[in-house]
Amino acid sequence: MAMNRTLFRGSVVTNHVVARITSRPNLCTRCQQRWSSVSQRPGSDRVQFPGAVNSKFTTGLKFQRASEDDAMPTYRILDQEGRIVDGAQQPPDITDSEAIRLYKDMVNVSVMDVIMFDAQRQGRVSFYMVSAGEEGIAVGSASALSLSDPIFAQYRETGLFQYRGFTHDDFMAQLFATKDDPGLGRNMPVHYGSKKLNMHTISSPLATQIPHAAGAAYAVKMQNMQNPMDEQRVVACYFGEGAASEGDFHAALNIAATRSCPVLFVCRNNGFAISTPTLEQYRGDGIASRGVGYGIDTIRVDGNDILAVREVTRQARELALKDGGRPVLIEAMSYRVSHHSTSDDSFAYRAKVEVEDWKRRDNPITRLRKWMEAKGIWDDEKERNLRADARKSVLTAYRKAENEKKPPLSSLMSDVYAEPTEEQKEQMAKLRSHLEKYPDEYDVSEFEGGMEGLTLEKK
């Protein structure tokens, strides 16, 4: 890799080097290392402690107060009626066909959500989580990324998978844990993943994916440098405002900043972490205010305005690639219209009328629809057809997946290690003889190959 090794050899900086570069800003853009002289210059009006190199002295004793009055503004393009707020601005940079695609993707997610939520209620799948109210964040940001940008998601970003190319068959294979599920029936429903689509498999522990995204972005940064003629990539990482309270959030933003990783941290601030409202989650100005503290360029956006989310993500991506790479934090504001999951009844902790208000008055789907109708590219008939098609497609995939075989039983133990251990082989043999001894106690018929699938031999 081309790097500035000659100037900054090793970690040790001599006074000579310091003297040479202190005339410039105190950051080396390449390695983001801060060089500073240890000594305080006589008569300087600024602190030269190594921990804060550009702090002015003051004799006024004043605590910096966290004030709600100067909350970071929220960027939007469309108002609740789908009208462009600032007429003087350029019209949204999007073609009609792309706008229709975004709309269709959001509707497809929401139609599937309703069907699968009911399917869980009927006991057809074990678990489900809908994205209601947040379809715009996932679909809008995905549309501004390159397909080769790796994505780390939390779990309420079905729209990412929809935009990247998941078909209803793909969703159903995972939800019903069929033999076509790439996760081989090991993960709970909604824990999607696709190597082909550069989507890392979702895991349940919250926020663990945030430092992964920082590390992956560092890898991508190295690969960008090694292949400068290839398309330069960034990593995108999604999480809720509740997950941002985890230590991993802190660890990740800090290391991404210090290592200058090209990563977009996208926070979905939907007001609730299961039952916990944001007032019990944090007392600062949301998540966005923290980004600045880590030295990360930050923006807050109206998550119900898909065009704003798209534009913000597009510009954030460009920013993240500047000067070799840097992280950017996007806080997308929205409201979790749905229950947290199928295991949650949210009316135990919030008023139904509040939810109905959000559903009716403002959500990303109706807002974009109003804008498209005003533009004359959408109408009631198209709407009816889209919803009927989506419903039909989901139900067709649903019925097919329901009747599909499960993955072979070997999947219960393969892939723990690259190769099965002796201990595992022995245990699989024990399981086999147990199943043979008690054939009536277990039903292996739904698994591909039945008992024949119970082998750790290479496929």
Q: Are 172 and 397 in contact (CB under 8 A)?
A: yes
Residue carrying structure tokens 């929401």:
110
For the bound state, the minimum distance from the C-beta of residue 166 to other proteins, rounded and expressed in Å, comes to 13
Residue carrying structure tokens 């709600």:
68
Find the radius of gyration of the CA atoms of the chain.
26
Which residue ranges make up the site for other proteins (CB under 8 A)? 1, 3, 5, 8-15, 31, 33, 38, 150, 152, 181-184, 186-187, 191, 193-196, 200-201, 203, 205, 208, 210-220, 222-223, 225-226, 235, 247-248, 250-252, 254-255, 258-259, 411, 415-418, 421-423
Helix (H) or strand (E) holding 431: helix 422-437
Report the distance separating Cα 275 and Cα 278, nearest Å. 10
For the bound state, the minimum distance from the C-beta of residue 207 to other proteins, rounded and expressed in Å, comes to 9
DSSP state of 87: T
Strands 74-75, 272-273: pairing kind:
unpaired
For the bound state, the minimum distance from the C-beta of residue 436 to other proteins, rounded and expressed in Å, comes to 22
DSSP state of 132: T
Identity of the residue, 187 or 341, whose beta carbon is nearer to other proteins in the bound complex? 187
Identity of the residue, 22 or 208, whose beta carbon is nearer to other proteins in the bound complex? 208
SS in 3 state form for 3-72?
A: CCCCCCCCCCCCHHHHHHHCCCCCECCCCCCECCCCCCCCCCCEECCCCCCCEECCCCCCCCCCCCCCCC
Going by C-beta distance under 8 Å and a sequence separation of 6 or more, which residues neighbour residue 427? 413
For the bound state, the minimum distance from the C-beta of residue 77 to other proteins, rounded and expressed in Å, comes to 33
Q: Are 333 and 302 in contact (CB under 8 A)?
A: yes
Amino acid at 61: L
Report the distance separating Cα 242 and Cα 244, nearest Å. 5
In whole angstroms, what separates CA 302 from the centre of its chain?
A: 16
Helix (H) or strand (E) holding 272: strand 272-273
Strands 74-75, 297-302: pairing kind:
parallel
Cβ atoms < 10 Å from Cβ of 305 = 32
Strands 46-47, 74-75: pairing kind:
unpaired
For the bound state, the minimum distance from the C-beta of residue 214 to other proteins, rounded and expressed in Å, comes to 5
Q: Are 333 and 269 in contact (CB under 8 A)?
A: yes
Q: Are 37 and 15 in contact (CB under 8 A)?
A: yes
- Write the CA distances from 305 to 113, 134, 161, 363, 370, integer angstroms: 20, 10, 19, 8, 11
For the bound state, the minimum distance from the C-beta of residue 4 to other proteins, rounded and expressed in Å, comes to 9
Residue carrying structure tokens 């090991």:
186
Across the strands, what pairs with 266?
238, 330
> Which tokens go with 438?
């008690």
